[in-house]
C-alpha cells in the first residue's frame, strides 16, 4: 500500500513545485483535480518524470453529478469525466473518483422530499455508470464509485449501495471507494465492511471520524490497515481531509508521520 494525497492550501501553487514538495514529504502519489489534469497534462507528465510521483487517480474537476437532478448538468458532467479518463490514460492513471452527488439533497434536512423518486435516482446513476463503463473499457481505466454519508447525499451512502449498482448493472470497470470518514458514519463495522467487499474495493480515502487529519480523532487506522493487508489490498491510500490546528502544515506532517508509522508496522 502506498500513500497519496489531495491538495492542501499550504501546498505550492505551481505544478512542478507541488510535485517536488510531495517528493520531499516522502509521499508516493498525488490525487489530482480532474480539470487540472486535463488542462495541464504535458506539465504534469514532466513533473511526474522528474519526481517519480505517481498520479493514479483524479477527483473533482467536473460540473454535473452522475446522479444530477438536471439532465443537462448530468450529461455535461459525463463528457467532462470522459475527458478526465482519456487524460488519465495518457499518464498511466488508474481511474476517477465519483460520488452519485454531493450537497444536492439530503433526507436529513428540509424540504425532506426530493424532486425525483428513487426509481429516477437509480435510472440516472445507472445510465451514467453504463456510459462511463464503456469509456473506462476503452481507456483501460476504472470508475471509483464513492459512497458519501447521509448528510451529503441521499442516493449512495453505504458500500452495499455502491455494490448493488455494480452487480445489478454488471459493471466490470467500476470499483468502490472506501472512505473511512463516510464509513465511520454509515457502516456498522468498518473492518467487516472492508472484509466483505474486498474484491470490489479499488481505492481508499483517508480522514478521521470528524473529517480532519488521520490520527487526530477516534478511528483505529492500524486495525483498518491490518484488515486491508489481510485483504491483499495493494492500491493507494489517499489523504482527503481538512486540517485541524493552528499550523496546518505542521499538523499535516504530523499526521503523515503517524500514517507511515502504522504502515511500517
Q: Which residues are catalytic?
A: 146, 240
Q: How far apart are CA 53 and CA 50, in angstroms?
A: 8
* Residue 110 in grid coordinates: 428540509
Q: How far apart are CA 144 and CA 252, in angstroms?
A: 25
Q: Nearest-CA neighbor of 178 among 170, 189, 168?
A: 189
Distances (CA, A) of 89 to 34, 38, 95, 113, 141: 13, 11, 9, 40, 7
SS3 content of the chain, % helix, strand, coil (to 5): 45, 15, 40
Q: How far apart are CA 197 and CA 227, in angstroms?
A: 12
* Secondary structure (H, E, C), 152-206: CCCCCCCHHHHHHHHHHCCCCCEEEEEEHHHHHHHCCCHHHHHHHCCCCEEEEEE
Amino acid at each position: 500500500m502506498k500513500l497519496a494525497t489531495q491538495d492542501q492550501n499550504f501546498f505550492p501553487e505551481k505544478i512542478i513545485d507541488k510535485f517536488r514538495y510531495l517528493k520531499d514529504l516522502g509521499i508516493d502519489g498525488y490525487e489530482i483535480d480532474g480539470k487540472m489534469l486535463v488542462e495541464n497534462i504535458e506539465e504534469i507528465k514532466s513533473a511526474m518524470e522528474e519526481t517519480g510521483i505517481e498520479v493514479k487517480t483524479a477527483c473533482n474537476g467536473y460540473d454535473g453529478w452522475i446522479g444530477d437532478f438536471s439532465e443537462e448538468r448530468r450529461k455535461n458532467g459525463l463528457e467532462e469525466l470522459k475527458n478526465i479518463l482519456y487524460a488519465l490514460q495518457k499518464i498511466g492513471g488508474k481511474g476517477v473518483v465519483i460520488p452519485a452527488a454531493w450537497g444536492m439533497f439530503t433526507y436529513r434536512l428540509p424540504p425532506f422530499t426530493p424532486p425525483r423518486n428513487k426509481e429516477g435516482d437509480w435510472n440516472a446513476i445507472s445510465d451514467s455508470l453504463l456510459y462511463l463503463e464503456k469509456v473506462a473499457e476503452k481507456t483501460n481505466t476504472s470508475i471509483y464509485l464513492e459512497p458519501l454519508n447521509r448528510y451529503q447525499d441521499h442516493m449512495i451512502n453505504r458500500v452495499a449501495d455502491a455494490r448493488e449498482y455494480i452487480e445489478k448493472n454488471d459493471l466490470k470497470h467500476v470499483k468502490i471507494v472506501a472512505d473511512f470518514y463516510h464509513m465511520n458514519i454509515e457502516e456498522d463495522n468498518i473492518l467487516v465492511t472492508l472484509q466483505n467487499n474486498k474484491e470490489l474495493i479499488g481505492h481508499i480515502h483517508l480522514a478521521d471520524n470528524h473529517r480532519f487529519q488521520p490520527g487526530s480523532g477516534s478511528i483505529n487506522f492500524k486495525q483498518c490497515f491490518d484488515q486491508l493487508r489481510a485483504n491483499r489490498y495493494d492500491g493507494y491510500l489517499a489523504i482527503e481531509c481538512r486540517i485541524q490546528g493552528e499550523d496546518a502544515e505542521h499538523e499535516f506532517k504530523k499526521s503523515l508521520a503517524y500514517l507511515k508509522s502504522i504502515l511500517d508496522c
